[in-house]
Amino acid sequence: MKESRRTNDLRKQDFTPATLDFGPVQFILARHFGFCYGVENAIEISYRALEESAGKNVYLLSQMIHNQEVNNDLQSRGIKFIMDTDGHQFIPWEKINKDDVVIIPAFGTTLEIEHLLLDKGVDVQKYNTTCPFVEKVWNRAEKLGKENYTIIIHGKPKHEETKATFSHSAHNGPSVIVRDMEEAQRLGNYILGSKTKSEFYDEFAGKFSVGFDPHLHLQRVGVVNQTTMLATETQAIADFIKQLMITKFGADSLKTHFADTRDTLCYATNDNQDSTYQLLETEADFAVVVGGYNSSNTSHIVELCERKFPTFFINSETEIKSRTEIHHFSYPRKQKIVTHQFLPDKNPVRIVLTSGASCPDTLVDRVMLKLAGFFEPIKTVEEALAEF
C-alpha cells in the first residue's frame, strides 16, 4: 500500500490518509508513517557491522533507535549496548579497546564520547549511523557559531540527539536548550533584560554552555532543533524569538540579531506530522499509534492524535490482550495503563492507525491484523487491498 502511494505521488503532494476496508472494521492509515531514511540506514549499517566483524566485540553506544523490537533483535544477534538512553553505563569504558567495533547510533553522539573513543584507537567513522538530518543541524549550528550567533536548541535536554547536538553546538558558540514554548518565553525575559544573570543560571541550570552570559550572548541568536520535535512548535518558538528581536532592536536591524534557520527541520518528521494533521480531518472511533514508548517523534504523533480521538499508544500487537482489553502508554503520565471495552459496539468500526519513524512496518501490519481478527466476517487482506 505504501509503495503504491509512493509510486503515484512521487513529489509527496498528497497527504490524505488511505482507508483499508475489511467490512466490519476499517483502518484509516496515514500517508506517511514508519521508518525514515535515517533509521533504515542505521539498521542496515548495524547488520553490516555484525557481518563484517566476526570474532570481534560489536558495541552500540546506546539504543540504535527508540524501538524495543529493533534493539532486542540487534542484541539477539550479538550486539552489546555500552549504555542506556539516559547515559547509565552497562560496559565500563576501560573494557573498550581499539580492536572492538563501536556503532554510533542514529541520534549521533557527543564530541566528548567521540574523542574518548578516538583516544582508545577505535574507528568511530566506519560504522557511524548518525542521521544525515541530525548532521545537517550540527552543520547549521556550526555556521551560526562562526557567524557569532548564539544557538538556541529546541529539544528535550535528556534525549540523546539533543545531548549530541548541544555538544557539537557548544563547541562552536554559546548555546542554550529550551524544551518548549514555555521555556522559550522564560528565555525571552533574559533577551529583553527583565531578569538577572543569577536567575538565568538557576532557571536554565544544565541547559547552557560553559561561560554563557545571558546579557552578552542573547543579542544575536538562531534556533535549531532536535529533529523529532513538533515542527510547528519549533517554528512557533523561532517566530516568538524573532518577534522579541524586532521589539528590542527594531525591524530594520532584524538580520543583525536573528538568523533564519527553518531549513533544519527534518523532512521525514515534517511528512509524518503533516500526514497526522490530515488524519485529524477524518472521522474515526479511536486511534492506535505504534512505536517505542521513549520515542520522541512517536510521542508527538500521539499528542496530535489526542487532539481529536481517544488514542492508544502501544509498542506492539502484544499490548492488545483481547477484544475487551488493551494495555497502552499514557505519555503525559509516563506510565502504562489498561483500558477495557475499547472496541465500540457498532458496524463498521473506524480505526486510525499510524506509527513513529522508528517503528518497522511489520509491527503496524501485526497490530492491524490482530485488531481485524476481532471482527467477523471480514474480507481477506487481498480483498481489502484489491479495493484500495
User: Percentage of the chain with pLDDT > 90?
Assistant: 76
pLDDT tens profile 320-346: 999 999 999 998 888 999 999 999 999
59 three-state secondary structure = strand
- Distance from C-alpha of 284 to C-alpha of 114, rounded to nearest angstrom: 47
Q: Domain spans of the chain?
A: 2-35+268-386, 37-119, 132-265
Element spanning 362, H or E: helix 361-372
Q: In this structure, what DSSP letter does residue 105 have?
A: P
pLDDT tens profile 168-194: 999 999 999 999 999 999 999 999 999
Is 317 annotated as catalytic? no
Least confident of 33-42, 241-250, 325-334: 33-42
240 three-state secondary structure = helix
Q: Does domain 132-265 have CATH number 3.40.1010.20?
A: yes
- Distance from C-alpha of 346 to C-alpha of 3, rounded to nearest angstrom: 32
Is the confidence at residue 256, as pLDDT, over 70? yes
pTM (2 d.p.): 0.83
Element spanning 101, H or E: strand 101-103
Q: Which pLDDT belongs to residue 265?
A: 65
Extract long-range pairs of 111-118: CB within 8 Å, 24+ residues apart. Answer: 111/167, 111/168, 111/171, 112/167, 113/61
Task: Give, in words, the CATH class of 37-119.
Answer: alpha beta
Q: What is the mean pLDDT of the chain?
A: 93
Q: Do domains 37-119 and 132-265 have the same CATH topology?
A: no
- C-alpha cell of residue 326: 488493551
Mean pLDDT of 353-382: 93
Residue the block writes with cell 550572548: 217
Contact between residue 59 and residue 49 where contact means Cβ atoms under 8 Å apart:
no
- C-alpha cell of residue 211: 561561560
CATH architecture observed for domain 2-35+268-386? 3-Layer(aba) Sandwich (3.40)
Among 160, 161, 183, 303, the active-site one is 161
Taking CA 77 as the corner, what is the angle to CA 336 and CA 127, rounded to the nearest 5 degrees? 100
- Distance from C-alpha of 11 to C-alpha of 39, rounded to nearest angstrom: 21
